[in-house]
Chains A and B, each alone.
Chain A
């Protein structure tokens, strides 16, 4: 099992641009989907899958020797749908059927969608479930990685820190948590709601390995993932990916309420036209 053949960085950049456009189109079809938080993690997911950092089998998504990805910030992951389609997990027609009775894609994804391991609608639970997976894999000694994608606003859930303590104490060295650190929760910037300070320092205090990266820089993300996977310390590793909520949509990028904004179809068309014109 090798997953995707690692693409060259410029090809991953093109893929990421395509994923971002597809994400906008998904939102155009289903405006209740969370666009801004899905745009902030486009590069995070694209580099993970096309850079060869996660081992998967699109034809047998639950194959035992796959690496696991738990997407804890479920609503902010509709940008994963185009990737699943492109890699063959789901039929590309599913992208057109989002939120329709005959489709499987929805605003908050679930394991009916091949590629999703868990239910992700209730925040703060992904890391704990991933700890259980990593513990089981460690017990078996088969070496699969367990990735978790979380949001930064999600860190307010106390259960995250129960799991963070657990992962460090039990030396779940094959656990890699990626935080889409887009700085905003639902109603405001996190620094205004409750400022957690530098996230890497928090996790370091909990006994984790920490890496900080520009979450939109393809090359930097690739280097960072390489480092995370090379971690042999026995400690779990967190990648704090600094991102911009609503990345690629100027009206969202500086908006404290970006999370709950729905773009009108015409606005999406305008953004896509601008992108094409570049």
Chain B
């Protein structure tokens, strides 16, 4: 199921129960959304292809006490409307109560063949930069459900970044997702651990199965809440490993997930190395879909498996 549809179904249910929920869309559709537009013409509004106004109207509604989901294509809701988000949501939320959830669909290479204007490979960095902005990057539907509960009970602005492709279940149910902790560890018994977010977690778990067939169990940490986050809890988990691999569908070396992990390792003195898989260099204009783009950026399964297989065998002992 699409994560987007999981969320829209939850919002639909929520709007039936709670008069205070609005959903605005910047002309971004979904079959599930059509029903909301009909059922709640006053609270489900298409503002047109106007992301700046989408965010500003959401801000104003929220100042009036409403909970607002603002839905758009990920690169545009984040980057086209960045100043509205910075001023109207991040800054203003320091002084006034508001609850706006920016819902960006199509992160990473989701829109595989649309080219780099529609690839969203900067949002992790720029949205995490904003104080007070919760940044959620789920890898499956259960995590989206957990986010919804969090969004309605936790005030403040939030950004939910969703892949546009169907996401197989990572967790059997919402009860497996300790959302406020920010991440979930699939433990490893060796030295290596992949820290990933969003769709790359799906791939990391696949790689974990592959390595297991080869007799090595690697760890995978699914980072679904990148801000706020429990640094110390993550450090405690990473302490068990000697080699950490960050894995994201966004630029590396520019403040994304790799920087988050690197900061945790440094701040807590975790004695592990860090290698990063993601986009290095610039934009690419190649055709060929997601798998091809993964190969172009050296983040395809074989490239990552090659690095994982080079990990020294356990046991590894933390120096005294």
Chain A interface residues toward B at CB < 8 A: 110-112, 117-119, 121-122, 125, 127-137, 139-140, 158-159, 162-163, 165-166, 170
Contacts and interface: CB of A to CB of B under 8 A. Distances in A.
B87 A125 contact: yes
Interface string B64-81: 111010000000000000
Contacts of A128: 52-53, 55-57, 59-60, 84
Nearest to B59: A129
A163 B61 contact: no
Interface in B168-184: none
Given A111-B95, A162-B50, A129 B42 contact: no
Of the listed residues A132, A135, A159, A162, the one surrounded by the most CB atoms of chain B closer than 10 A to its CB is A132
A122 B59 CA distance: 14
B66 A136 contact: yes
B314 interface: no
A139 B92 CA distance: 23
B43 interface: yes
Contacts of B47: 162, 166
Contact of B57 (A117, A131, A137): A131
Contacts of A131: 53, 56-57, 60
B87 A111 contact: no
Contact of B42 (A110, A111, A117, A139): A139
Contacts of A136: 60-61, 63-66
Q: Which 3 A-B pairs have the closest CB atoms?
A: A132-B60, A128-B56, A136-B64
A159 B57 contact: no
Contacts of B88: 118-119, 125, 129
A39 B61 CA distance: 31
A165 to B, nearest CB: 7
Contact of A163 (B45, B53, B63): B53
Contacts of B84: 125, 128, 159
A165 B48 contact: yes
B95 A121 contact: no
A135 B60 contact: yes
Interface of B: 42-43, 45, 47-48, 50, 52-53, 55-66, 68, 83-84, 86-88, 91-92, 95-96
Contact of A112 (B42, B50, B95): B95
Contacts of A140: 64
A163 B56 contact: yes
Contacts of A159: 52-53, 56, 84
A122 B83 contact: yes
Contact of A132 (B48, B61, B86, B96): B61
A158 B52 contact: yes
Contacts of A118: 59, 63, 88, 92, 96
Nearest to B43: A139
Nearest to A142: B64
Nearest to A117: B63
Nearest to A122: B87
B87 A132 contact: no
Nearest to A139: B42
Contacts of A166: 47-48, 50, 53, 57
Nearest to A133: B60
B81 to A, nearest CB: 9
Contacts of B60: 128-136
